[in-house]
Each structure stands twice: as structure tokens, then as C-alpha cells.
Amino acid sequence: MMSNPNRVLRSWVDVSPDSDFSIHNIPFGIGRPPGSTPRLFTAIGQYAADLQVLAEHGFFDDLDIDRAIFSSSTLNPFIALGREKTRAVRQRLIDILDDDLDEWDASQLKEFFLLPQTKVSMLLPLQIGDYTDFYSSREHATNVGAMFRDPQNALLPNWLHLPVAYHGRASSIVVSGTPIRRPQGQTMPDGASSPQFGPSRLLDFELEMAFVIGRENAMGHPVSTADAEDYIFGLVLFNDWSARDIQRWEYQPLGPFLSKNFASTISPWVVTLDALEPFRCTSPEPEIAPLPYLQYTGNRNFDIQLEVALQTASGAPHTICRSNFRYLYWNMSQQLAHHTINGCPLRIGDLCASGTISGPNNESYGSMLELTWRGTQPIQLPDGSERRFLHDGDTVIMRGFAQKEGIRVGFGEARGTLIPALQ
Ligand code: CA
């Protein structure tokens, strides 16, 4: 039985009220303690809790899970246990960390499996087989369509009928903190008569979230919107780094290619749908009723506050965007149903990103392209500099959290610093 998701719990670990990692969260990640091997961790307050150590001491033995699973270098084998088992592990961790705990002496427990998060190197938590990027924010699609095509017909005719997406590249998805090298490529600047080659001049971020596939469908067998959430293990923050000048020259007719596949950054902790349960909310009212396979019942969206901070090489982090996951027109259940309606098989560890999450006003736009309106309205920074697009040495920090009635569940951050192109 699951405990009441709306009861406020407290942990015997000291957790600040503004921590993303309350006892209501209990995300999963892969970390490496100093001088040791990778293994599963969860986060609580400022600490990372070592699941390998807990497993070695028999804390999960009655759940009938091979102890070696907790010593894996990715979450894939753990996720493959299925929701019943992963949910039981999460509940066991909540029981261990709950201040109602009376079987053990908490002060002694703390010594043997909790490490300060600063001491643990967080690694890419998944072996990502395939990666799909949706385009599900109406505001973003409208802004981009208005800038690059026609302000009067910004949305293409299919947009309100299906969740548009493309298949990206999994090999360049990296964990938060990994430096991002400015890509080189082919562009056709305004007024030029032939293409040029060199470092991208219009480097951008895209504020997105991504869900992790937690269950596989057989090839040829679609997943309905009703069942879609059974196939989602959890969510991470996602920065889809984008080279706008390369994109503009290459994207027609098949969509983005080298402008996107040089790097994407994810946050290290996967937050489960169970943890997000208290934050369910409605989706924007559809303008056109979609085909039956894209219809759904219930609240399938989540109220997750998102922000992007930009830190120059010499400055402090400065928030340049505040958005919310709830703005997405197409929800994850619809995205997953559409992705599989032709029989496409999903595999455990695959990632599906939301597309840039822009909101209704210009402080909520999820890319530099929109925030500066294609570079025409530069962002003024506190150190006196301005930005149209990203400079070498700039750090982009994405954060996200849900908060309600004393319960806070957050994602930590997805951070990346731009380093100069190879010359
Ligand atoms: Ca994108």
C-alpha cells in the first residue's frame, strides 16, 4: 500500500525547507563515492544515500531483489525490475529516512550510508538507447514559427493535431556539469552567396524536461493514453543545446541534425512519477479535439516550476527565464501514445524530451532565440554585459521544483559551461 501522498513527512536527516530533496522526493541516480565504484544513490537534503551499502546490510532483502542491482553503473537494470519493485524500494527508503523510524538508532545509521552530495560524483544515470525530442509547447512553436516563417500562420497545419517530434541522438547526452564545446559547422549568413564554415555564432539553450521509459512495449503494439504512465519511470531536466545558425541552414526538409546532436545536458537525479503525484494538474484546453487515440482522461500534466540562470565567466548566476512544465499543450501520455501508435517499440532507458517549454509572457520563454527575439532585444546582465546568444565561458543552469502545502519535490540542476570551439 502506498502511504497518503499528501501527508507531510519529516526525515531525521536535516532537510532545509527549500531543499529539492525532501523525504517526499527520493529520486534515483548513479554516483561514485571517492575512490570507489559507481552505484545507485538517492538524495535527501544535502546528502546522497548509498543504496549499495544499504543492500549489503540487507535492507532490501525481503523485496526479493538481487543485491548486485544496486551496484550497477546505470539505472537500467533497476528500472527493469518494474514499477512494483522500484516503488517498494522507494517506500523502503522513505521508511528508513522517516523520523518515525524507531527500530534503529538514527545517529548511527547516518554514519554508514549517507555522504555529503559534494563528495559524490554524479554520473549519467541511464544507458540511453534512443532519444526523441518533442515540440509540445504551443507558445514556443508559435514564437519560432513567427520568427522563421509567417507571424500570421506561425503553427504548421499538423501542430494542433499531433505532438510533433524528431528522433535525436542519444550518444551526446551528458550529465550536468559536463563542459559543452561550441560546435563548428556550415552556415549561410544573411547576405552571403555561399555557405561558410566555422564555430557556431548563435549558440542557444532550450529549457526542456525529459521522461525516462520504464517499461517496454512489443514492436507492433501501441500504448494507449490510459496506460502511458505505466511506461514512464520518471523525469529529469533537459537542456537541448542548439546552434541556431547551423539549424537555420540545414533543417529543411528533414528537421534538425548537426545543430542539435553535439550535446544535450540532463540533471543527474531521476524523479519518479510517484514523487510528482501531489502536483498533477490540468493541461491547456485543446483548441481542436484530437483524434481518439490522443484523447485521455484525468489530469496528465504536472505543475513544475522551471527556471534558467545564466552565469558569465566573471559574473554571478542571473535568472533569465521562469517557466512551468504545465504550459505544455501535449502531455506525456499523449506524446507516448503518439510515439507508439505506429507500433514503434520503446526500450527501458530511452528518453523523450518535451521540447522547449515556453510560457505566455516574454519572461517565460525557454530559449535565447525567443528571449532576445532572434537577437534583436539583447538580455542585459548585472555585470553590465549583454547577450544575444551564448558566449564561451557562459554557464547555463536549469532548475525545477514542485511545491505545495509544505511538500517540495525538486530536480536539482542541469548545468553546463560553454568552452571554445576546436580550431
Ligand atoms: Ca528541442
311-326: average pLDDT: 96
> Which domain, by its residues, includes 99?
29-123
Cα–ligand 1 centroid distance for 79 (angstroms) = 25
User: Of 123, 140, 174, at which residue does a domain stop?
Assistant: 123
Q: Which residue has the higher pLDDT, 3 or 308?
A: 308
Strand partners, 47: 44, 116
Domain contains 209:
yes
Q: How far apart are CA 19 and CA 22, in angstroms?
A: 6
Phi, psi of 147 (to 5 degrees): -75, -40
Cα–ligand 1 centroid distance for 49 (angstroms) = 33
pLDDT bracket for residue 6 (50, 70, 90): low
Domain contains 18:
no
pLDDT at 292 exceeding the cut of 90: yes
Cα–ligand 1 centroid distance for 51 (angstroms) = 33
Write down the pLDDT at residue 149.
86
- Considering the domain architecture, whether residues 161 and 94 belong to the same structural domain is answered as no
Active site members: 140
User: Of 123, 152, 183, at which residue does a domain stop?
Assistant: 123
- Considering the domain architecture, whether residues 173 and 313 belong to the same structural domain is answered as yes
Domain contains 1:
no
- Considering the domain architecture, whether residues 91 and 113 belong to the same structural domain is answered as yes
- Considering the domain architecture, whether residues 175 and 59 belong to the same structural domain is answered as no
Nearest Cα to Cα of residue 319 among 179, 182, 203, 413: 413
Domain contains 6:
no
* Gyration radius of the chain over CA positions: 22
Mean pLDDT estimate for the chain: 95
Domain contains 161:
yes
User: Of 123, 157, 192, at which residue does a domain stop?
Assistant: 123
Predicted TM-score (pTM) of the model is 0.96
pLDDT tens-digit profile of 276-287? 999 999 999 999
pLDDT tens-digit profile of 49-80? 999 999 999 999 999 999 999 999 999 999 99
Phi, psi of 331 (to 5 degrees): -90, 175
C-alpha cell recorded at residue 304: 513544475
Write down the pLDDT at residue 109.
72
CATH of the domain at 270: 3.90.850.10
Cα–ligand 1 centroid distance for 226 (angstroms) = 26
295-312: average pLDDT: 98
- Considering the domain architecture, whether residues 261 and 379 belong to the same structural domain is answered as yes
Q: How far is CA 383 from CA 260, 376, 386, in A?
A: 30, 20, 9
Total count of domains within the chain: 2
Domain contains 227:
yes
Cα–ligand 1 centroid distance for 293 (angstroms) = 24
CATH of the domain at 75: 2.30.30.230
Cα–ligand 1 centroid distance for 205 (angstroms) = 9
Q: How far apart are CA 395 and CA 235, in angstroms?
A: 22
Strand partners, 29: 41
- Considering the domain architecture, whether residues 274 and 403 belong to the same structural domain is answered as yes
SS (H, E, C) the chain: CCCCCCCCCCECCCCCCCCCECCCCCCEEEEECCCCCCEEEEEECCEEEEHHHHHHCCCCHHHCCCHHHHHCCCCHHHHCCCHHHHHHHHHHHHHHHECCCCCCCHHHHHHHHEEEHHHCEEECCCCCCCEEEECCCHHHHHHHHHHHCCHHHCCCCCCCCCCCEEECCCCCEEECCCCEECCEEEECCCCCCCCEEEECCCEECEEEEEEEECCCCCCCCCCCCCCHHHHEEEEEEEECCEEHHHHHHHCCCCCCCCCCCCCEEECCCEEEHHHHHHHEECCCCCCCCCCHHHCCCCCCEECCEEEEEEECCCCCCEEEEEEEHHHCCCCHHHHHHHHHCCCCCCCCCCEEECCCCCCCCCCCCCEHHHHCCCCCCCEECCCCCEECCCCCCCEEEEEEEEEECCEEEEEEEEEEEEECCCC
Cα–ligand 1 centroid distance for 355 (angstroms) = 4
Give me the percent of the chain exceeding a pLDDT of 90.
Answer: 92
C-alpha cell recorded at residue 156: 504548421
What CA dihedral angle connects 369, 371, 377 and 380, to 10 degrees?
-120
pLDDT tens-digit profile of 126-167? 999 999 999 999 999 999 999 988 899 999 999 999 999 999
- Considering the domain architecture, whether residues 206 and 242 belong to the same structural domain is answered as yes
pLDDT tens-digit profile of 158-199? 999 999 999 999 999 999 999 999 999 999 999 999 999 999
The verdict on whether omega for the bond into residue 253 sits within 30 degrees of 0, i.e. cis, is yes
- Considering the domain architecture, whether residues 167 and 101 belong to the same structural domain is answered as no
Nearest Cα to Cα of residue 206 among 148, 141, 253, 254: 141
Cα–ligand 1 centroid distance for 382 (angstroms) = 28
- Considering the domain architecture, whether residues 323 and 371 belong to the same structural domain is answered as yes
- Considering the domain architecture, whether residues 209 and 230 belong to the same structural domain is answered as yes
Cα–ligand 1 centroid distance for 206 (angstroms) = 6
Residue 85: how many CA atoms within 13 Å on its side-chain side? 18
Q: How far apart are CA 344 and CA 348, in angstroms?
A: 13
- Considering the domain architecture, whether residues 326 and 371 belong to the same structural domain is answered as yes
- Considering the domain architecture, whether residues 119 and 136 belong to the same structural domain is answered as no
Cα–ligand 1 centroid distance for 133 (angstroms) = 6
Cα–ligand 1 centroid distance for 277 (angstroms) = 26
Domain contains 289:
yes
Domain contains 7:
no
